[in-house]
Structure 1
Amino acid sequence: METALYVLLIITSISLIAVVLLQSGRSAGLSGAISGGAEQLMGKQKARGIEAFLSRATVVLSVLFFVFSLLLAYFL
């Protein structure tokens, strides 16, 4: 059981790292940080296509990482 959790945790963590690195940056310098934050806060732009997929995959993989980590800590 522990070995399976270790393997799942490693696969999930590598996948999470890859998905985060594949995402594009949301701001372009200082001006993008100021105006981009306001646009995200107000929800003016929605992610479409591959950006939406990567965003959802990040959330799913991070939840899986958290669950596998808790399960592994519980069984050890």
Structure 2
Amino acid sequence: MYNTIMPLFLIVCVILIACVMMQPAKNDNDAMSALTGGAGDLFSRRKARGFEAVMQIATTIFGALFFILALALVYVSSH
């Protein structure tokens, strides 16, 4: 079982890294953003569209798979 979960885990790791790296940057170039660290945009209601929405969904899915496979690896290796 460990020999099937570990390669899946490594593949999910690489895909998750790629998903995070491919997300578009949110550039805020105003002076207030530099002082507050962009905290004003924390609760803004801007819906992601197109490529950004797809990347957010893919990152969420692969993040959940990463967590589930990590827990499965811990369980399998301890028993």
What is the TM-score with the length of structure 2 in the denominator? 0.80
Distance 1:46 1:17 in 2: 23
RMSD of Structure 2 on Structure 1 (CA): 2.1
Task: Determine what percentage of the aligned residue pairs are the same residue.
Answer: 32
Using a 3 Å threshold, how does the CA distance of structure 1 residues 39 and 71 change in structure 2: closer, same or farther? same
2:56 equivalent to 1:72: no
Distance 2:28 2:71 in 1: 37
Distance 1:62 1:14 in 2: 11
Gaps of 5+ in 2: none
Aligned to 2:17: 17
Q: Displaced runs of 4+ in structure 1, greater than 3 A?
A: 28-37
What is the TM-score with the length of structure 1 in the denominator? 0.83
SS of 1:41's equivalent in the other structure is coil
2:55 equivalent to 1:46: no
The amino acid of 1:6's aligned partner reads: M
Q: By percentage of residues, which structure has more helix?
A: 1
The amino acid of 2:43's aligned partner reads: L
Task: Pick the structure with greater CA Rg.
Answer: 2
Aligned to 2:8: 8
